[in-house]
Amino acid sequence: MLPTPGATCSGEKEENLMSHTTLPASALPVHDQPTPRTVPVSRRLAVVGLVGGALLNGAESIGMRLLLPAQPATGAAKLQAIADTGMTYAVLVTLGTLAIPFMIIGFLALTHLLAQRAPRTGRVAVTLLLTGMFGFFGRHVLSLAQVPLSQSACPR
């Protein structure tokens, strides 16, 4: 025989604590409260940022290796090599530069997801991300500046 609900093994009736608990009249059930937004951008924008940034940055990287000769290390020789490639170098560096805002959006969304579980790690990740992206952007600006310098330094 199974005991009846609310009864103990000795046959005594257990007191239901939930029946005596009252909620304040203003308390709303949990499912009725609005869910706070945890990501700074929408999911679609985060996906577009990650995929777009990866595609643009990958196109620059692959194009630099497949379409351009190896870059010399010295300044004058490097400018001459850039001048010899025509607009290919400029287009590839522009693709990489356009990838940066997309990557920032996607990576910020990912760091906010991380911050939900590990707030300190999320803050460190955002700081390192923004610092690294400024350096990445600076490198691309210098690469873009080499295009007009190569045209003026190397007469045709």
Confidence class of residue 152 from pLDDT cuts 50, 70 and 90? confident
pTM: 0.68
Query: Average of pLDDT values for 49-69?
Result: 94
pLDDT reading at 26 higher than 80: no
pLDDT, one tens digit per residue, over 95-126 is: 999 999 999 999 999 898 888 889 899 899 99
Residue 107's Cβ-count burial label (10 Å; 0-12, 13-18, 19+) is buried
Look at residue 22 and tell me whether its pLDDT is greater than 70.
Answer: no
